[in-house]
Amino acid sequence: MYPELEQIRREAERLTGEMSQADWHHALPGKWSCAQTFEHLMLSYAATTRGTLKAMEMGKPLGGKPTFRDRVSTFYVAGLGFLPSGRTAPEQTVPTNGAGVDSLRPFNDALVAMDATLTDAEKRFGSRVKLLDHAVLGPLTAREWRRFHRTHARHHLKQLAERVRQNGSTVA
């Protein structure tokens, strides 16, 4: 697995290692539970995997031509690792109740599947090719997709870590 994604996996394991089932599913008012947060991340990985597989099936990358705004946004998020706050999740990545996300196994499986699919596409189309368009950042290469997902996951894992720090054993 690429280092950007391995960092996510290790941090998620460290953060959730001692969680009880109650901690895993507890949510503060207006916030996602830990299970919902990991469901959201899994849904985002699955969307990237589906898009990449579609490009592979079609035999061509599906990324468009980046605008200046796209390049700046991509540099900010994938290059510098900053994620602007205040955005709402795209509809297809909004978690339900986190059911079925009682451990990190499905999260890790989705992460590994996405990485493998991006690697396959990179081998087929090249490392500089814009594989898919991100809804906000525009066209991204496989490397930029990995870095976006690293930044996105770090954003959510920092939120969970802060709740752990503030609330002791009650995580989310």
Q: Average per-residue pLDDT in the chain?
A: 88
pLDDT of 170 strictly over 60: no
Q: Is the pLDDT of residue 75 over 80?
A: yes
pLDDT of res. 101:
62
- Give one word for 95, left, alpha or beta, with left for phi > 0 and alpha for psi -120 to 50: beta
pTM for this entry: 0.89
Question: Hey, where are the domains in the chain?
Answer: 3-13+29-86+104-167
Secondary structure in 3-state letters for 65-106: CCCHHHHHHHHHHHHCCCCCCCCCCCHHHCCCCCCCCCCCHH
CA distance 55 to 63: 9
pLDDT the model gives residue 77: 93
Q: Which pLDDT value is given to residue 168?
A: 61
In terms of pLDDT, which residue wins out, 90 or 158? 158
- Average pLDDT over every residue of 9-38: 84
